[in-house]
Amino acid sequence: MTTTMLDPISISQREQVRELQKLMQREGKASLVGKGGEPALELPDVVYSLLLRILQGMQEGKAISIIPMMQDLTTQEAANFLGVSRPFFVKLLETGKLHYHMTGTHRRVYLKDLMDYRQHRDQGKMDAINRIAQFEEDAGLYDKVLLPA
């Protein structure tokens, strides 16, 4: 997988990042000035937002990865991303629950498809939790503590 990895920053760099983040948030817009003072070019909102998110992560001491949405992932990388075993992930592919394509004899999954699947899976989990909570509330059990007899 081709990614750009930024290692966590040092304590001294964290202060510089904090100041840059404050400046960007205070100003609300950012411009890029070329070498030698070439004319400034205003950053598009999407780039500005991305830079703020990167700065926030760096300030929190996190490593940052930038991965293209159409990045091919191996089945092991995709399984790791979802937090499941590779055999379980392969079953998801074979049952058609997740799109994949072949590269030679190997299955590959696009990161975008994987993220869509994860969002759908997580929404299904939240819906199930809400249904259980609603059932408990309708039955009058939501606020009761049931102790074993």
Set out the domains of the chain in order of their start, with CATH numbers.
4-66 (no CATH), 72-138 (1.10.1660)
* pTM score of the predicted model: 0.60
Three-state DSSP state, 75 = helix
- In tens, the pLDDT along 37-46 reads 787 888 898 9
- Which residues lie below 8 Å from residue 89, measured CB to CB, with a gap of 6+? 75, 78, 79, 82
CA separation for the pair 101, 109 (Å, rounded): 6
Cβ atoms 8, 61 nearer than 8 A: yes
pLDDT, average across residues 77-91:
96
In terms of Cβ atoms closer than 10 Å to its own Cβ (0-12, 13-18, 19+), residue 114 is buried
Reported as a pLDDT band with limits 50, 70 and 90, residue 1 is: very low
